[in-house]
Structure 1
């Protein structure tokens, strides 16, 4: 076995692999760090959509129709009320808290799904209330 002093440079076959592993680890850390920074710089947080909340009440009245009332503002700008097979098949817009709309069925005994969607400043919509009711024929 050959003796090595503190001042001698070891031959290629006597060197350890530590510098190679160190370089590989440094490159890996740099690549991962660059990927994380690029994700945030290129707009990852912008892809998160706004969650809109509001309170709406859907209730069946004694005359067999339904009433939808906006009861809590939350962060909604307006509400859209839709219901199939009714006079609200096209969205009816509620613009302020306390406002309500009467939903009248077109056909007696037909199940109607009433959906209330809240929209925020950015135009993002979230369903805040949904109810299945059987409405009477409009009179």
Structure 2
């Protein structure tokens, strides 16, 4: 047996590597095509928007829209422009429903909306609803002072 020929003979390496690469490429293509065929690609693009909101709480004695009581002014500080139809402002107190002007149209930086019937210690949330359906995300929250 000639050891010099055994160490320099590499004819079998190239076909094995070629087969492994072809299988890897086939698996990757199948995964990408399967993702879009099953509709999973649409869900990836519909993630919650990135936006910043500030909350200004005003205690008893203040009035908003002619109604006295605790109010909160929610202001869009920056980030993505949002559609008001996809935004809801809610409190965690189930006995009162927030009321007020709300947002309308397109919400961009600097837009503000006022809501009354806020209880002390209540957590106020800005909730985004996916227009494609199926999911909601809290994109901002604050708690009213005690």
| 2:96 is the alignment partner of 1:87 | yes
Higher Rg:
1
Number of matched pairs: 118
Provide Cα deviations, 1:2-38, integer angstroms capped at 9, x if missing partner. Answer: xxxxxxxxxxxx9952465155335424423432442
TM-score by length of 1: 0.56
Aligned residues: CA RMSD: 3.8
Which of 72, 86, 97 lines up with 1:67 in the alignment?
72
Which of 109, 125, 143 lines up with 1:115 in the alignment?
125
8 Å CA contact 1:82–1:92 kept in 2: the answer is: no
The gaps in structure 1 that reach 5 residues or longer are: 2-13
TM-score by length of 2: 0.54
Rounded Cα–Cα distance in structure 1 between residues aligned with 2:84 and 2:75: 11
Rounded Cα–Cα distance in structure 1 between residues aligned with 2:14 and 2:47: 49
Q: Where do residues 1-139 of structure 1 align in structure 2 (5 Å cutoff)?
A: 16-18=11-13, 20-22=15-17, 24-42=19-37, 43-48=39-44, 49-54=46-51, 56-63=53-60, 65-71=70-76, 74-78=81-85, 79-85=87-93, 87-88=96-97, 94-96=102-104, 97-105=111-119, 111-119=121-129, 121-122=131-132, 125-134=136-145
